[in-house]
Amino acid sequence: MKQKWTLPDGLAVYGGLALLLLLGVAALLFPSDFSVWERRRLQEAPANFSLTDWTLQTDLEAYLSDQVPFRRALVNTYACFETATGRAVQLDAWPQADSEGRLHFIEKPVSAAPDAVQKRIDALLSLTEGLPCRFLTPPTAGSLLRSSMWRPRSAVYDADAALYETVFQLESAVPVLAAFAAGPDADLYFRTDHHWNLDGAWQAYRCYCEAAGLAPAEESQFSWVTGSEAPRFFGTTYSRSGLPFADADALAYAEPKYPLTFRILDDDTEYDRLIFPEEANTYDGYALFLKGNHGLIEILNPSVPERTLFVCKDSFANCLLPFLSANYSRIVAADARYLTGTLNEALADAGHVDEVLFIYSLDSLATDTSILRKIRR
Are 305 and 190 found together in one domain? yes
Distance CA 169, CA 45 (A): 49
Is the predicted pLDDT of residue 108 greater than 70, yes or no?
yes
Q: How far apart are the first and last CA of the chain?
A: 88
Looking at the structure of the chain, the number of domains it has is 2
pLDDT band at 257; cut points 50, 70, 90? very high
> Is residue 91 included in any domain, yes or no?
no
Is the predicted pLDDT of residue 34 greater than 80, yes or no?
no
Task: Round the average pLDDT of the chain to a whole number and report it.
Answer: 86
Q: Which of 55-69, 158-172, 241-255, 285-299 has the highest mean pLDDT?
A: 285-299
What 3-state DSSP class applies to 333? strand
Is the predicted pLDDT of residue 142 greater than 90, yes or no?
no
Q: Which residues contact 148 (CB under 8 A, 6 or more apart)?
A: 96, 97, 98, 99, 185
Is the predicted pLDDT of residue 185 greater than 60, yes or no?
no
Name the pTM for this structure: 0.86
Is the predicted pLDDT of residue 1 greater than 70, yes or no?
no
Give the residue with greater pLDDT, 58 vs 357: 357
What 3-state DSSP class applies to 61? helix
> Is residue 93 included in any domain, yes or no?
no
What 3-state DSSP class applies to 248? coil
Are 48 and 131 found together in one domain? no
Are 33 and 131 found together in one domain? no
What 3-state DSSP class applies to 281? helix
What average pLDDT does the segment 194-211 reach? Answer: 96
pLDDT band at 143; cut points 50, 70, 90? confident
Pairing of strands 94-97, 222-225: unpaired
Q: Which residues contact 23 (CB under 8 A, 6 or more apart)?
A: 64, 68, 69
Radius of gyration of the chain, Cα coordinates, nearest whole angstrom: 24
Strand partners, 332: 298, 310
Identify the domain containing residue 14 by its residue range. 9-69
